[in-house]
Chain A
């Protein structure tokens, strides 16, 4: 299993041990942390929710694809769900490989694909009391949606927002 969820703190030291291999000359990892601001708003906490049945399959496909594409030794991705505080680790990716180049490339590939393909949603809670589902609220465009606030979003879906 190369992709999993946890509703408690990610044990990155334990996860790293799963990648150890005497044939590996290096290891690269990525940690995504909960940041205290997004698009000009002060964030106080986050909630992550996943459609786990499909997310596990899609996450597994991404990591399997990375293993093939970059010929690395081992790779693993762990994503948190539930309520997270500022500074908490939301996602961890680790890759071990014979040489460093593939480890960095595979790690970057996995986090980028996970962000775009895996059915996981993030709700931000703001200092001002508002909250919103990232990439959803600002692109909702029902004809009867009262647009009484100007948030200056583009017409196309804001699918490519990155925040790590």
Chain B
């Protein structure tokens, strides 16, 4: 299935893009992050990230569906 993945901050720089469409068999955000770590060399371990699916916080075991928009959220630093 195809997913849309958007990147921000450190992960945008490490991926060298702000978004991509990816054909994947990853069933969950946890599977997907494993695949993307290998693909882009992300340095942040998943324990330090949150995940959002379709613009809302989600969890690592959420069942992904074709067309979902996924964002991995590095440690935030607003203010």
Q: How far is the CA of A103 from the CA of B29 in the complex (A)?
A: 40
> Within 8 Å CB of B43, what residues of A?
140-142, 145
Q: How far is the CA of A157 from the CA of B71 in the complex (A)?
A: 20
Q: How far is the CA of A140 from the CA of B56 in the complex (A)?
A: 24
Number of B interface residues at 8 Å Cβ cutoff, please give it.
26
Q: How far is the CA of A158 from the CA of B9 in the complex (A)?
A: 16
A48 close to chain B: CB less than 8 A: yes
> Within 8 Å CB of B45, what residues of A?
140-142
A134 close to chain B: CB less than 8 A: yes
Number of A-B contacts (CB under 8 A): 99
Q: At the interface with chain B, which of A13-21, A66-74, A110-118?
A: A110-118
Q: How far is the CA of A8 from the CA of B3 in the complex (A)?
A: 33
- If A49-B9, A139-B48, A140-B43 touch, whether A54 touches B75 (CB-CB below 8 Å) is no
Give me the interface of A with B, judged by CB distance under 8 Å: 32, 48-51, 53-54, 57-58, 79, 90-91, 111, 114-123, 133-137, 139-142, 145, 157-159, 161-164
Give me the interface of B with A, judged by CB distance under 8 Å: 6, 8-10, 12, 37, 41-45, 47-48, 50, 52, 55-57, 71, 73-79
Provide 26 A-B residue pairs closer than 8 Å at the C-beta atoms, listed in order of the A residue: A49-B12, A54-B55, A57-B56, A79-B79, A90-B79, A91-B79, A117-B76, A119-B71, A120-B79, A121-B9, A122-B78, A133-B77, A134-B77, A135-B74, A135-B76, A135-B77, A136-B74, A137-B10, A139-B44, A140-B44, A140-B45, A142-B37, A142-B43, A145-B43, A158-B75, A162-B79
Given contacts A91-B79, A119-B76, 19 further A-B contacts (CB under 8 A): A49-B9, A91-B78, A119-B8, A120-B79, A121-B9, A121-B10, A122-B77, A123-B9, A133-B74, A135-B75, A136-B44, A136-B74, A136-B75, A136-B77, A141-B45, A142-B37, A142-B42, A142-B44, A163-B79
